[in-house]
Amino acid sequence: MRITVCCTDTKADPWLAGLRAAFPSATVENWAPGAAAADYAVVWAPPQQFLDEQPQLKALFNIGAGVDALMKMRLPAGAAVVRLDDAGMSVQMAEYVSHAVIRHFREFDGYEADVQQGKWSFRKPRMRADFPVGVMGLGVLGQRVARTLLQFDFPVRGWSRSAKTVEGVRCFAGEEGFEAFLAATRILVCLLPLTPDTEGIMNRQTLSRLMPGGYVINVARGGHLVEDDLLALVDSGHLAGAMLDVFRTEPLPAGHAFWQHPKISVTPHTSARTLREESIAQIAGKIAALESGQPIATLAGVVDLNKRY
């Protein structure tokens, strides 16, 4: 068995070491142009040349939950694409979103601003019933986030392309359920995969349908949000603000309006980072399952190439 690692923007050596430890009898190597044909590839933002030179691959394992960059490339015809289905990311995402929701609901941002001015202030407690949270995307990460928010007694709504059931969550599905979902939401959390159907899904039209005083939390992809529409709705007062972890251009350019806007908080794409050891163990387990004869379609995280997630 031969496994090749092709990663840009991240160090390959730890992935090579982990996979060699998991498969001591296999050939595990870092890809270089002209490399020998491999059975499996572990990738992050690979160049098109790599994909073109490895047409025989059985599976591409993406070291992240989002595969939108891979979906834009020309893939080997017979290769399955497998994403990380958790690997320690869901708890991080639940932490981040819970922090963002609670910070807004409890007005901690307002207290912070007052403290910076030397003010000892009081704000009347708000009712959780008035702040229903809507989670767009009910995959592994979205369901973990929704269940966590329930623990804080927020009303939680969920929306997905196909019908899902999450105990305690009022679920909506498809185009026919989207407007009702938005109308029932005050704090909107985006955890959707980025596809042609979801590009720009948070725009002036959709965000205007949120309850007055709506708040936006984007931890999915920058391409989901029409940035100028968000700014206009915040400045008009229809939206109370936003907390954003992902952007159309990353790093966020100097001088971008988000940096200094008093009602918009930004973080540098850090809501859920890949945990290397957990990810290697998950990928190794899936490769071992395939080598033992398990059908690839039964693995968790296999991407539907038609749906692009």
pLDDT of 87 strictly over 90: no
How many domains, the chain? Answer: 2
User: If you average pLDDT over every residue of the chain, what do you get?
Assistant: 96
Interval 16-20 mean pLDDT: 97
Predicted confidence at residue 150, as pLDDT, reads 98
- Phi, psi (degrees; rounded to nearest 5) at 225: -110, 130
Upstream peptide bond of 268 is cis (omega within 30 degrees of 0): no
Span 250-263, pLDDT tens digits? 999 999 999 999 99
Span 147-192, pLDDT tens digits? 999 999 999 999 999 999 999 999 999 999 999 999 999 999 999 9
Do residues 109 and 189 share a domain? Answer: yes
Predicted confidence at residue 86, as pLDDT, reads 86
Predicted confidence at residue 247, as pLDDT, reads 98
Do residues 79 and 166 share a domain? Answer: no
Do residues 70 and 184 share a domain? Answer: no
Of 56-60, 233-237, 305-309, least confident by mean pLDDT is 305-309
Q: Which one of 104, 186, 221, 224 is the catalytic residue?
A: 221
309 assigned to some structural domain: no
Do residues 126 and 262 share a domain? Answer: yes
- Please return the burial class of 98, using the count of CB atoms within 10 Å of its CB with bins 0-12, 13-18 and 19+: middle
Q: Which one of 269, 273, 276, 308 is the catalytic residue?
A: 269
Predicted confidence at residue 64, as pLDDT, reads 85
Q: What percent of the chain has pLDDT over 90?
A: 95
Predicted confidence at residue 172, as pLDDT, reads 98
Q: Looking at residue 53, which CATH number applies to its domain?
A: 3.40.50.720
Domain ranges, residue 164: 90-266
Give the confidence band of 8 by pLDDT, cuts at 50, 70, 90.
confident
- Phi, psi (degrees; rounded to nearest 5) at 146: -60, -45
Length in residues, the chain? 309
Q: What is the DSSP string of 2-56?
A: EEEEEESSS-SHHHHHHHHHH-TTSEEEE--TTPPP-SEEEEES--HHHHHH-TT
Do residues 208 and 110 share a domain? Answer: yes
Interval 260-270 mean pLDDT: 97
Do residues 137 and 238 share a domain? Answer: yes
Interval 274-280 mean pLDDT: 94
307 assigned to some structural domain: no
Do residues 175 and 76 share a domain? Answer: no
Q: Which residue has the tokens 């955890």?
A: 191
304 assigned to some structural domain: no
CA distances (Å), origin 303, targets 30, 61, 200, 212, 263: 24, 10, 22, 37, 37
pLDDT of 9 strictly over 90: no
Q: In what order do the strands lie in the sheet with 214-218?
A: 170-173, 156-160, 133-136, 187-190, 214-218, 239-244, 264-266
231 assigned to some structural domain: yes
Rounded to an integer, what distance in angstroms lies between the CA atom of residue 167 and that of residue 148?
Answer: 12
State yes or no: is 104 an active-site residue.
no
Predicted confidence at residue 58, as pLDDT, reads 97
Residue 262 vs residue 9, higher pLDDT: 262
Do residues 224 and 118 share a domain? Answer: yes
pLDDT of 295 strictly over 90: yes
State yes or no: is 308 an active-site residue.
no
- Phi, psi (degrees; rounded to nearest 5) at 149: -65, -30
Interval 185-207 mean pLDDT: 97
Do residues 138 and 256 share a domain? Answer: yes
Rounded to an integer, what distance in angstroms lies between the CA atom of residue 20 and that of residue 5?
Answer: 11
Do residues 209 and 125 share a domain? Answer: yes
Q: How is residue 166 written in tokens?
A: 């999450």
Q: Which residues contact 112 (CB under 8 A, 6 or more apart)?
A: none
Q: Where are the alpha helices (DSSP H) in 120-249?
A: 140-150, 174-183, 204-207, 227-236
pLDDT of 125 strictly over 90: yes
Do residues 81 and 107 share a domain? Answer: no
